[in-house]
Structure 1
Amino acid sequence: MRKKVPEAEDNRKVVIYARKSKVTHKGDSIANQEEYCKEYARLHLNLSDDYDFDIYEDEGKSGFYSDRPDFQRMIHDVERKKIRAIVCYKLDRISRKMSDLTNMIDFLNKYKVALLISSNNLNTMDSNSKMMIQMLGMIAEFERDILTERIQDNLSELSKDGRWMGGITPTGFTTERSKEGRGKSKNSYTYLVPIPEERDLVQHIFRLFLDNRGFNATATKLNEEGYRTKTGASFTSLAVKDIIRNPVYCVADENAYQYFFNAGCNIYGDKEDYDGVHGISVYNRTEQTKEESDESTFLRPEFTRLTTLNGMEDWIVAPGRHVGFVSSEDWIEAQNIKEEIADNYNRPHRTTNALLAGLIYCPLCHRKLNVIPESNRFTNGKPRFKYACPNAIRKGPCGFQAIRGVEMDEYIVERLSHLSDSGDKDYIEEIQNEIKSLLKGNGSEKDIETLKKAIEKLEKSIKAQVKSLRTATDSTRQYIQADIDEMAKEIEEKKKVLHKLDAQNMEQSEHLKDLEGIIYTANHFEELVKGKEPEVVIGVIKSIIDRVYVTQEGEESKCHLFIKGNKTESYDDFFVCSDTSIDAESQMCDSEEYRELYPYFCRSAIKS
């Protein structure tokens, strides 16, 4: 008779997972979820009152995506056999995506880990609970779709009080919270408050833009005058553009009302509400989404965050509570100039539809190449032309040989259509790594929330001391007043730090937005340009390509594409030039495979 071998004691931990999709102080807070879960675990897993739970929590994270930091840390701790049971308050705290929930339960079963849902009294180790979990998972995913619709529906209602809905505070403003009502009807709202010196800068930027009629020219002038962005960086054309196109600066008057009405926006309020003092508040101006990559898995999720500007027909426009900085006439004129710039930027060469005009440079003297049409001659049914260096035309000092334009354009489109192929993924991985690095190193959101809580606590303390001051004796009044002054000073210092963190967060967010857009374009280039008009193709190419150089060795040409957002590439370092010559031996690329692919040009290796 065989002896029964006693099972080894399971020393793995019981852990708590808590999540809240928005950082607030209401509802089922992280702390409340954790307390409910601890009580449930002690009761159903026979744990002692002083059991030391490990806590995993994700605050401000959506349950639809599995790339939550603490969630992933917990999953990998399951892999490392550190966990025997996970306790969660509700099933939708774990996931609102049915496929991820199914994969997770299978994964937990593989490692013999129980999932306990305290509010529904469910345990995945109990066969009776499995069907209920499947049903609840489907309901959780359905609820997410309903919540998304409700958020859109509620934006119109929220626009009534002109509140600031959160996000990165625009240049010229900080935020303050205001409380209204009493008891259960008491609500807190956040409003924009102007910063005088930054307001003056914004107004100066608009004046310069209206005078210079260009983003780059305005940025150059601002830098020459010694102005800097909120984070102390030099102004760029993108930084200027973000300020110019933001409707928050526009004074809300009858003229602005008519402009947004004619643009097809959803207008809240009557004309008389646009009083010529307050600014414009726009809701639903942008849409943030996440796209899952083909290589993404439940255990190792890969998402690309995308922020797109919605069409004006989707905007909800209302008068805000903040003061407008720029007259509606000036703001609207600035938008008209912006549209003219965009039209000129994406307009193809009038006779050739040259796709690389303004992007392709001479490697010898660094001048932009001109588009030179060849009358009544065609290649592949397209008007024939050449890209030529202006310093080389009519026996000029530059020795650069003109490039066949139609072939060059076709080659660039062909190569960009295959950037997501395995052989060309190096640069995409570089940008993805930079995004991960930025996200990993970004602790500013937590710091901002901590500062806001600290400021709120100090303000409450000041109010309490003010009450004490009313009944204080002469001997204690001076100490109470000194305490109030000290706390007020501390609040002022914390607000300065908060303002700086907001600015840094804004700059990093814009950088991330650009990088994510580049990756999206790289992965979808072919479908974005297929069958489109030249204007559209040019716009897509310019959104991803920074510069193009073509170097020549006798009869052979080599093409070097410089992709936006890739820090490993620098055309300043890539070419070592004199006035009219280049060190060909040390600077040329050697991508032999592309010479066979296309007889005219050779794309450089991504990493120089």
Structure 2
Amino acid sequence: MENRIDAIYARQSVDRRDSISIESQIEFCKYELRGGNYKDYKDKGFSGKNTDRPRFQELMADIKQGLIRRVVVYKLDRISRSILDFATMMELFQQFNVEFISSTEKFDTSTPMGRAILNICIVFAQLERETIQKRVTDAYYSQCQRGFHMSGAALYGFELEPTTIQGIRTKMMIPDPDTANIARLMFEMYAEPSTSFGDIARSFAQEGILVYEELSRGFISQMFRNPIYAQADLELYEFFKGQEAVVVNEAADFTETNGCYLYQGRDVQEGKNKDLKNQILVLAPSEGIVSADTWLQCRKKLMANITFQGGRKPKNTWLVGKMKCDHCGRALKSMGNRRGTQYLYCTKRADNMSCEGCGTLRTAEFEQFVYEAMVQKLSKFQTLTAKAETVTPQADGLKCGAGLGGGRD
């Protein structure tokens, strides 16, 4: 007696007016079954480009357990848009004798011709997915080149204001009266040759100037790289042209007023912070905060900085990653002085002096303290791991004899 049940699979990646809902898909599939027991598997908000979908994986697991007789979908692309994934799925269906039905596309998977038609359909499903991806990408770059704000919160020093560009409603960034002066001060400080990220962070911490919750060096670095802050002029235009960036606007448009959006080019992969080649620069509708000369001084100084890759293994202490500052909760790191003595420092205090730190702790002394505490803690478990010695009279006699013989020689 057949005790397997039917399965209905439905998927909807985005909730739009022109897309059929999961509930409607299930109703179509129920009509195809014409009664009988079934279990539905619904994935909402997941793409069909891969199989990383929770209910789809549950369906595959039930098939492997021999619980499913046939799988019904509203349309082929609801279950897969990938040729490779679909081929793997059909092999599994054949292995466990599971029938596949599309309620809007009539397929007979028991014949070679039916399987061939299925494969042709899945090719076009993948083509449709890739075409949609290309349309979305083209639309993104089209809006980039027209100076649209491409989502996201306003950068520090700015606030968002609704606007209309070429008849399309969007948003633009305008200088924030509360933070624009602070952002300008940061640029002016870093433009000085001897000023570092740490100098700015420590100065702000001492003066009590709050930039978000904490002013980190990474935040400062990203801020100085962004041309939205610059009042773009001809010199800035020539700078990006010299770096082989794609400048959308004409040179005459750079009038020392507006900032610029810098978008990642289509073929740009790694090193975008230093390499500006093929990046897309377009004038923004918003005004800049600092002069182009100040911005360029900061940008060129960043490009001249030497970047060191952080170590992947503990170097100065085996306690790295296991110690936290009791005041701020940040990690402690071991740093050496000129005499070569290693001390433990709070990373937040070392970064911007905004934490009182952990006092004077010599790394070697603290390591010894932790080691002795570990030995004391584990000492009572010593007998649990000790190997019991087997007493063998014959072997002991041989050992004694060998020892006596060695003494006579």
Deviation at 1:40, TM superposition (A): 3.2
Report the TM-score, using the length of structure 2 for normalisation.
0.64
Deviations 1:401-450 (A, max 9, x none): xxxxxxxxxxxxxxxxxxxxxxxxxxxxxxxxxxxxxxxxxxxxxxxxxx
2:43 counterpart SS class:
strand
Tell me: CA distance 1:74–1:329, structure 2 relative to 1, closer, same or farther (3 Å): same
Deviation at 1:317, TM superposition (A): 1.0
Deviation at 1:13, TM superposition (A): 4.9
The answer to whether residue 277 in structure 2 is matched with residue 313 in structure 1 is yes
Q: Is the 8 A contact 1:286 1:308 kept in 2?
A: no
Tell me what 1:322 maps to. 286
Deviations 1:209-265 (A, max 9, x none): 2246312222222233334444xx211111111111122222233222111111111
Q: Is the 8 A contact 1:287 1:309 kept in 2?
A: no
Tell me: CA distance 1:66–1:193, structure 2 relative to 1, closer, same or farther (3 Å): farther
Deviation at 1:268, TM superposition (A): 0.7
Letter of the structure 2 residue corresponding to residue 391 of structure 1: R
For 1:237 and 1:38, how far apart are their aligned partners in 2? 53
Deviations 1:6-46 (A, max 9, x none): x3372x552311124xx8x57x44xx353662453244333
Q: Is the 8 A contact 1:227 1:234 kept in 2?
A: no
Tell me: CA distance 1:34–1:207, structure 2 relative to 1, closer, same or farther (3 Å): same
Tell me: CA distance 1:362–1:317, structure 2 relative to 1, closer, same or farther (3 Å): same
For 1:115 and 1:309, how far apart are their aligned partners in 2? 50
Match of 2:155 among 165, 170, 173: 170
Q: Is the 8 A contact 2:224 2:299 kept in 1?
A: yes
2:44 counterpart SS class:
strand
Q: Whose radius of gyration is greater, 1 or 2?
A: 2
2:290 counterpart SS class:
coil
Deviation at 1:193, TM superposition (A): 4.8
For 2:157 and 2:110, how far apart are their aligned partners in 1? 56
Deviation at 1:583, TM superposition (A): 4.7
Deviation at 1:321, TM superposition (A): 1.8
Q: Unaligned 5+ residue runs, structure 1?
A: 290-305, 348-354, 370-388, 393-397, 401-546, 549-571, 591-608
The answer to whether residue 45 in structure 2 is matched with residue 58 in structure 1 is yes
Letter of the structure 1 residue corresponding to residue 13 of structure 2: R
Match of 1:217 among 196, 199, 207: 199
Deviation at 1:174, TM superposition (A): 4.8
Q: Unaligned 5+ residue runs, structure 2?
A: 319-332, 345-356, 375-409
Q: Is the 8 A contact 1:176 1:193 kept in 2?
A: yes
Tell me what 1:40 maps to. 28
For 1:258 and 1:170, how far apart are their aligned partners in 2? 25
Tell me what 2:326 maps to. none
Match of 2:301 among 327, 337, 345: 337
Q: How does 1:58-77 map to 2 (within 5 A)?
A: 58=45, 63-67=48-52, 71-77=53-59
Pick the structure with more helix per residue. Answer: 1
Match of 2:8 among 9, 14, 20: 14
The answer to whether residue 123 in structure 2 is matched with residue 138 in structure 1 is yes
The answer to whether residue 49 in structure 2 is matched with residue 85 in structure 1 is no
Letter of the structure 1 residue corresponding to residue 12 of structure 2: A
1:196 counterpart SS class:
coil
The answer to whether residue 240 in structure 2 is matched with residue 264 in structure 1 is no
Letter of the structure 2 residue corresponding to residue 87 of structure 1: V
Report the TM-score, using the length of structure 1 for normalisation.
0.46
Tell me what 1:391 maps to. 339
Tell me: CA distance 1:86–1:9, structure 2 relative to 1, closer, same or farther (3 Å): closer
How large is the Cα RMSD of the aligned pairs? 4.6
Q: How many residues align?
A: 339
Match of 2:221 among 237, 241, 244: 241
The answer to whether residue 187 in structure 2 is matched with residue 206 in structure 1 is yes
Q: How does 1:96-111 map to 2 (within 5 A)?
A: 96-109=81-94
Tell me what 1:542 maps to. none
Tell me what 1:523 maps to. none
Deviation at 1:87, TM superposition (A): 2.5
Match of 1:251 among 217, 225, 231: 231
